[in-house]
Structure 1
Amino acid sequence: MRILLLIAALTLGLGFTPATFNSAWAVNPSEVLSDPVLEKRARGLSAGLRCMVCQNQSIDDSDADLARDLRVLVRERLVQGDTDDQVLDYLVARYGEFVLLKPRLEKRTVLLWGFPVLMLLGGAGFIWLTRRKANRSQPPIVPLSEAEKKRLEHLLDGK
């Protein structure tokens, strides 16, 4: 039993999860192109395209019928001679920007891409202002008077 737990922990620790193996199972052998260069391009494109059924998986990782149709469509477009950008443009025109797992940087998506940076800057500004205000609210350090020094010495000596 311990050996099985150890194997499971090592497998998960190394990143071999079911999702890792799923991409090998999702693409059917009948979909694979005979030209290895085109197949590599197809795999690269399909890894960046969202499955419209699963929504958080690429079409390369999904077993959904629509994902299979999109994989076949990508391969057909590549065989017809389309460039990678032409294939992506075709799919975006047909399914919308949502089909891309990583949206393009455009006027419409600037806020999407810039929001994390704005949040980071806003948080840093908030911390800076809070610390600045805290430093201002502290009273100035006044040195001890001679009487206070003698009293402190008396208390520390225990006399």
Structure 2
Amino acid sequence: MQQTHEEKRNDRLLKSGDLFFDDLIEGDYFVTEGIVVTESHVVGFAGLSGDRFSIHLDDVTAQQAGFPGRIAHGLLVLGLVDGLMMNSAVKPRIVAALGWDWSFKAPVLINDRVHAEARFKPIRRTKRGDRGIVELVITVFKNQRDVVHSGVKTLMLECRSSA
């Protein structure tokens, strides 16, 4: 009997608590809570970042560009999702973030609710042996079903034991 793609990968939903590099199996995942992107988020981010591009702040300009209304900054949504992951019940023992590789796939509008699914891919232990490098493969959804962002966050995690 041929296995399906889903049967070949691990689909272990992680439980709450601390998570070390040694605890991970490729495909382990968690799902974040959600957050509604508000006008205050967008306006505040525009002020903080200096990104006052009119599709974020003016409905008419956004509509003329083909959007139904103002859209949230991609980096704002990325920041909100990173905050959701850091406040998750799953607590990876992060030493450092090493990088991002990210794609903005669809617009997020004011009042859209976003959440993420994050899957771990252990890469290797560091030379010291007390830390490990993982890729966190992230898919961001709006309104429960539409993929709006995706990418990889590379992290260094503590190891439970030295190799």
Tell me the TM-score normalised to structure 2 length: 0.23
**Which structure is higher in helix share?**
1
Larger radius of gyration: 1
Q: Which has the higher strand share?
A: 2
Indicate the structure whose relative CO is greater, using CA pairs within 8 Å and at least 6 residues apart.
Answer: 2
